[in-house]
Structure 1
């Protein structure tokens, strides 16, 4: 006995009809007439001693429904071409097939104009494993400070120099001071939080928020104080990010910075610039979800310089930093993608602080 069934299925353009069979042949069935969607119906003949006709109407869904069917993708931090943009990178993973970008470099639409825009602000988790996001000081014994020990000590406001501890002085109120004679002439009586070990730090001592001192790029005898802002991970190609106290960000290797001997309970309290101090407080509060703007090379940004905002062209993107070119005086700088020097960021961060304060109350 011959049986016929008719089945009309409405399907997404991303799906294909499937019927369990040993052999199936599709052919146009003019006797069935055109479908309402504009696509012809198909007939399936199955060799089971039965004849079953399956009528399929393919209906194109609206774009918003198609978008809803796509699987979610992780937020973008930097694209494949951005990750290789810096020539001073310590590490490049040439064999990693994964990408932090939603769009591959070959499919990414090119920027067709240089108009200034308000970039997307991404607050996704920065790293992937717990040891890459640590912001709690490890519970390790303090290293002893001895007479004749070579250290790095603060000589002036933002200038640290190498010297030798010649005396340890205990004040009447119990505070301990260290008398340091500098290699480049002069001496000073400093506190433990204004002195750093001259040795390379150990990895187990490091955490986001650590108070550090970095060798100056311009003068080998000078050092600058700062705060460790990123630990090595795949996203920054195994480098450390440090914010110097003048708000300058810098990617460096382990051998180029030193740990402060006796940091304050809150190392941000040692920053003298109020605006940068507030920025670092917010940054450490948000970590490991820092606020990073999304820029591409060729776009225009408004960046503060000496109290005024200037239009700059983004020339490079390197992990959490962008290199900008100031048209008015032709100089270049590396700027953090969440920096308060970017025109739209101070207001955004202020709103976040207010939200956080309201949540605490």
Structure 2
């Protein structure tokens, strides 16, 4: 018998029978294997529900994660949320960094995410009109926006437009177009990394805070939007919580208060779609900034690009971005 093991993709004679109707012809069946591009293969994979999303996948799938391990050996542990028995983790050197260079073709060995398909560029779409009696969200103070109605549109001598807004909770303000946001839910095609938005506060549905859109929904972040609030607070939100600024500035960072967060956002948008991210696991401890001072904290939960930490001295819990300037290991990447 002929050995076919060395040519598994060669043609194999089709045994259709040797009767007179076939005139002694034997047809060959040919199998052609075509390798699909990775981006097509990823679209065929069903989304993974959150409860089946392994921590290893959420931590290691990023193409630009930085691997950091705390120097304190006592904190090098990993435990599950079900309070299972702790397992020791082999410590890494503090200067261990994994930053694979992005492929020139725009693809990688891991499943692609939305950041590889977008750039921080505003889409070319028709500008939505602002009308009198329109409900909007307007700035009352830098970190406090409220719902109100456009009472009057005023044209200044230099041609600039100002909008007089009457708030639902009393009071009026005369604001510029970049200090009001649409009260309606935006369309997906209007959103992009770097968009200026306001989001509804989780503890008060009548309060809104300004920020910059940092991630679009993808399988990697469990179909959520990541927003950096102007005070450096990161939040994952759904589409209904987002509101687009009506007339954003050409450089959205001009509307962000000067300081470390503004520098962080400038670097973040520059590095996109490969922002720096540290890697931690629940149970590990390190230093992070709190009230202007580096303090010891411990990781409680890792959620995609964010992690919840508890500060050991005060037991205060906070969500911190894994590339935040508050982390002691990220100071070397700040300007």
**TM-score, normalisation: structure 1:** 0.66
- Could you tell me how far apart the structure 1 residues matched to 2:280 and 2:130 are? 46
Q: Does 1:171 align with 2:129?
A: no
Q: Does 1:310 align with 2:295?
A: yes
**Paired residues for 1:86-105 under 5 Å:** 92=50, 94=52, 99=57
Q: 1:137 to 1:213 in 2, by over 3 A?
A: same
Which digits, 9 at most, give the CA deviation of each residue in 1:11-63, with x for residues without a partner? xxxxxxxxx989xxxxxxxxxxxxxxxxxxxxxxxxxxxxxxxxxxxxxxxxx
**Paired residues for 1:193-208 under 5 Å:** 193-208=178-193
User: Which residue of 2 is the match for residue 224 of structure 1?
Assistant: 209
**Paired residues for 1:109-120 under 5 Å:** 111-112=87-88, 118=94
8 A contact 1:114–1:299 mirrored in 2? no
Which digits, 9 at most, give the CA deviation of each residue in 1:75-122, with x for residues without a partner? xxxxxxxxx9xxxxxx538599x956669x9xxxx7527999747555
Q: 1:156 to 1:115 in 2, by over 3 A?
A: farther
Q: Name which of 212, 215, 223 aligns with 2:200.
A: 215
Which digits, 9 at most, give the CA deviation of each residue in 1:326-361, with x for residues without a partner? 0111110010000000012122233xxxxxxxxxxx
Q: Which runs of 5+ in 2 are unaligned?
A: 5-47, 62-77, 79-85, 103-110
Displacement of 1:174 in angstroms is: 1.0
**What SS does the aligned partner of 1:193 have?**
helix
Q: 1:292 to 1:197 in 2, by over 3 A?
A: same
8 A contact 1:115–1:299 mirrored in 2? no
User: Which residue of 1 is the match for residue 37 of structure 2?
Assistant: none
Which digits, 9 at most, give the CA deviation of each residue in 1:293-318, with x for residues without a partner? 01011111211011101010011110
Displacement of 1:130 in angstroms is: 6.7
Q: Name which of 142, 145, 149 aligns with 1:157.
A: 142
Displacement of 1:134 in angstroms is: 3.5
Displacement of 1:273 in angstroms is: 3.9
User: Which residue of 2 is the match for residue 146 of structure 1?
Assistant: 131
Displacement of 1:239 in angstroms is: 0.5
8 A contact 2:58–2:304 mirrored in 1? no
**What SS does the aligned partner of 1:346 have?**
helix
**Paired residues for 1:10-25 under 5 Å:** none
- Could you tell me how far apart the structure 2 residues matched to 1:336 and 1:208 are? 16
Displacement of 1:218 in angstroms is: 1.6
User: Which residue of 2 is the match for residue 299 of structure 1?
Assistant: 284
8 A contact 1:123–1:289 mirrored in 2? no
Q: 1:206 to 1:293 in 2, by over 3 A?
A: same
Larger Rg: 1
8 A contact 1:192–1:262 mirrored in 2? yes
User: Which residue of 2 is the match for residue 252 of structure 1?
Assistant: 237
Which digits, 9 at most, give the CA deviation of each residue in 1:235-273, with x for residues without a partner? 101110000000000001000110000000011111114
**TM-score, normalisation: structure 2:** 0.70
8 A contact 1:180–1:190 mirrored in 2? yes
- Could you tell me how far apart the structure 2 residues matched to 1:207 and 1:331 are? 33
8 A contact 1:123–1:292 mirrored in 2? no
Q: Which runs of 5+ in 1 are unaligned?
A: 1-19, 23-83, 85-90, 351-361
Q: Does 1:289 align with 2:247?
A: no
User: Which residue of 1 is the match for residue 248 of structure 2?
Assistant: 263
8 A contact 1:151–1:165 mirrored in 2? yes
